[in-house]
Structure 1
Amino acid sequence: MARTRSATPPVTPQDIDAIINQPARIQAIRRTVEAVADAVTPMVEAYRPYVEGLDNLPADGRFLLVGNHTQIGVEAPLIAFHVRRVIGRRVRLLTDRQFGKLRGPAKDLFAAAGALVGAPEPVRELMRHNEPIVVFPGGGREIPKFKGEEYTLRWQGRAGFARLAVEQNYPIVPVGLVGGDDVYRSVSRRGGSWERLSVAMAQRFSGRTDMVMPLQHGIGPTLIPRPQRMYLRFGAPVDTAKPDDVTTEEWVATVRRQTQQSIEQILADLLAVRADDPYRHLNPLAWRHGAAPPD
């Protein structure tokens, strides 16, 4: 008899206790990672990222950051960098289950940086300990952007983050980043012959079809990255406390919708700020006139 293949992807087993009480070797690596983060502060500031809304971060660290993925993935370290500077806490990044397959030093570094595979019970444990968490609901499929998809959310119905936030009455802080989708320009559109070829190649070599890569270029026809200033905004927290007269499913859908709309508005606002910013391409001659966040 043929076996029936489950449609639900396997969940990578995780040691719940080790997520909070990490082994000594992981804590030692963590201290090194934090020292490196402190050392690169002048380098980050040299690029003068546009950052606003830091006062929207609850000082107790009890919040779930929900953001958008860009093509170069700079949003995760940039968010973690600024949260740590403001409240002195490490952000726990929820990642794709593929990262759970890491072994050896790579796995230890991954854990020391605060990252873990997103799954309900580990997230509940983090929330029980009032840990700051960041998640990108679009996952890996939101990273590659075909022409016309820049700064769009590809959540495809995912609502797990909203469900857990409602269950634990955990505030959601929407966060958006603009700049990362312009380092490379896509020349192919979704649905074309290149996507079909890319899907076939991805499925053959990785078994996945959600990480297809468009044809892209950086400076001119090369893959040299285009210099781009980064624009980051932390939005007002979304209240997840469920009203008595609303069902849980209705409230989860409401929280998800409010979060998505907030991020989309943040992206639209940042795109408008960037459009008038003479420093958007990191031209050193224009840095003194670069857009500055409101006081």
Structure 2
Amino acid sequence: MTVMTNTERLMDQPTRIQAIRRVVETVADNAAPLIDLWRPFVDGLEHLPRDGRFLLVGNHTQSGTEGFLIPYLVRREIGTLVRPLTDRRFGTMPGPAADLLAACGATVGSPESAGELMRHGQTILVFPGGGREIAKFKGEENTLRWQDRAGFARIAAEHDYPIVPAGLIGGDDVYRSLTSRDGLFGRFSQRIAKALGAPGDMAMPLLRGIGPTLIPRPQRMYLRFAEPIDTARPAGVSAPEWADTVKQRTQTSLEAVLADVQEIRAGDPYRELNPLAWRDAVQP
């Protein structure tokens, strides 16, 4: 059992983890001027419950920016540590890497760990699409790949935990996918993924950044927090039926956020971080 998988120590982490957390928080606080200079578009902070008792449900992007930007902005706004739920594979990471993730609030996602965090009123972050939502083939940018994953909705409903959808646009534009999932390279990549023991839907597409290189393309990030979704189950509705309803409401809300923010981005002269357009950047 590692620090990332020990449910009993979620609320009482080892001294070394607490020490690393203080360093991480100091670095984050000192980075505020740089993040403000980068000028991400941030909307909907008023929707965050002030008591910190809520579940953030977000979308993964190719850049991974959402993994640090959401926790950073939530902590800056309401002062709570966000507890991301990670893939179980992170539970096998070596000591230093696992310690750093734990210091940032992360733990391996499971019904047990999520339930324990909810019993203590923690701010939690989950990406239902998981790793399959990071690698995007051509035409999959800014979309959700949740399939039938409704575990987050079931656990939230069991604890009457509000859900706040958090949608990020821009992270899927740092690279351009050149191949479709059902194309020749896409099918080959899926076979390779399966041969290596990974799910086929986590195959890697063929990407390019600036020109023919893998240098990321400069992109402004756009993040919006939607209104909280009440998960309290009505009388007469079965638990499975209500979990499906909560999952669908969350997905619909998040997809609406992604669509709306893409429209905002389309009219923003600063969307590619052109310094000459910094003063004209679209604001909420």
Could you say which TM-score interval applies, normalised by the shorter chain? over 0.9
Give ranges in structure 1 of 5+ residues lacking alignment.
1-11
In structure 1, C-alpha distance between the alignment counterparts of 2:72 and 2:7, rounded to whole Å: 25
Residue in structure 1 matched with residue 33 of structure 2 by the alignment: 42
Residue in structure 1 matched with residue 252 of structure 2 by the alignment: 261
1:245 correspondence with 2:236: yes
1:231 correspondence with 2:222: yes
Residue in structure 2 matched with residue 283 of structure 1 by the alignment: 274
In structure 1, C-alpha distance between the alignment counterparts of 2:198 and 2:176, rounded to whole Å: 26
In structure 2, C-alpha distance between the alignment counterparts of 1:245 and 1:14, rounded to whole Å: 36
- Which of 210, 213, 233 pairs up with 2:204? 213
Residue in structure 1 matched with residue 51 of structure 2 by the alignment: 60
In structure 1, C-alpha distance between the alignment counterparts of 2:229 and 2:115, rounded to whole Å: 18
- The one-letter amino acid paired with 1:50 is F
Tell me by how many angstroms 1:274 deviates: 0.4
Residue in structure 2 matched with residue 99 of structure 1 by the alignment: 90
Aligned residues of 2:4 and 2:102 also touching (Cα < 8 A): no
- The one-letter amino acid paired with 1:26 is I
The 3-state SS of whatever aligns with 1:181 is: helix
1:164–1:208 CA distance, 2 compared to 1 (3 A): same
1:273 correspondence with 2:258: no
- Which of 54, 62, 79 pairs up with 1:88? 79
In structure 2, C-alpha distance between the alignment counterparts of 1:13 and 1:121, rounded to whole Å: 13
The 3-state SS of whatever aligns with 2:128 is: coil
Aligned residues of 1:172 and 1:239 also touching (Cα < 8 A): yes
In structure 2, C-alpha distance between the alignment counterparts of 1:55 and 1:207, rounded to whole Å: 40
Deviations 1:45-93 (A, max 9, x none): 1110000100100010000000110011100100000000011111000
In structure 1, C-alpha distance between the alignment counterparts of 2:49 and 2:198, rounded to whole Å: 40
TM-score (norm 1): 0.93
In structure 2, C-alpha distance between the alignment counterparts of 1:14 and 1:110, rounded to whole Å: 12
Aligned residues of 1:65 and 1:135 also touching (Cα < 8 A): yes
1:69 correspondence with 2:60: yes
Aligned residues of 2:56 and 2:124 also touching (Cα < 8 A): yes
Residue in structure 1 matched with residue 176 of structure 2 by the alignment: 185
In structure 2, C-alpha distance between the alignment counterparts of 1:112 and 1:92, rounded to whole Å: 10
The count of residues paired between Structure 1 and Structure 2 equals 282
Give ranges in structure 2 of 5+ residues lacking alignment.
none
In structure 1, C-alpha distance between the alignment counterparts of 2:18 and 2:153, rounded to whole Å: 30
The 3-state SS of whatever aligns with 1:137 is: coil
Aligned residues of 1:147 and 1:186 also touching (Cα < 8 A): yes
1:26–1:273 CA distance, 2 compared to 1 (3 A): same
- Which of 128, 140, 159 pairs up with 2:119? 128
In structure 2, C-alpha distance between the alignment counterparts of 1:13 and 1:292, rounded to whole Å: 38
- The one-letter amino acid paired with 1:49 is P
In structure 1, C-alpha distance between the alignment counterparts of 2:70 and 2:236, rounded to whole Å: 36
Tell me by how many angstroms 1:202 deviates: 2.3
Aligned residues of 1:140 and 1:210 also touching (Cα < 8 A): no
1:204 correspondence with 2:195: yes
Aligned residues of 1:171 and 1:240 also touching (Cα < 8 A): yes
Tell me by how many angstroms 1:13 deviates: 8.8
Tell me by how many angstroms 1:220 deviates: 1.4
Aligned residues of 1:127 and 1:168 also touching (Cα < 8 A): yes
Residue in structure 2 matched with residue 159 of structure 1 by the alignment: 150
The 3-state SS of whatever aligns with 1:190 is: coil
Aligned residues of 2:4 and 2:106 also touching (Cα < 8 A): no
The 10-residue stretch of structure 1 (211-220 or 135-144) with the greater mean CA deviation from structure 2: 211-220
Tell me by how many angstroms 1:207 deviates: 4.0
In structure 2, C-alpha distance between the alignment counterparts of 1:106 and 1:192, rounded to whole Å: 36
- The one-letter amino acid paired with 1:19 is L
The CA RMSD over aligned residues, in Å, is 1.3
Tell me by how many angstroms 1:36 deviates: 1.1
1:113–1:230 CA distance, 2 compared to 1 (3 A): same
In structure 2, C-alpha distance between the alignment counterparts of 1:257 and 1:156, rounded to whole Å: 11
The 10-residue stretch of structure 1 (60-69 or 194-203) with the greater mean CA deviation from structure 2: 194-203
- The one-letter amino acid paired with 1:188 is T
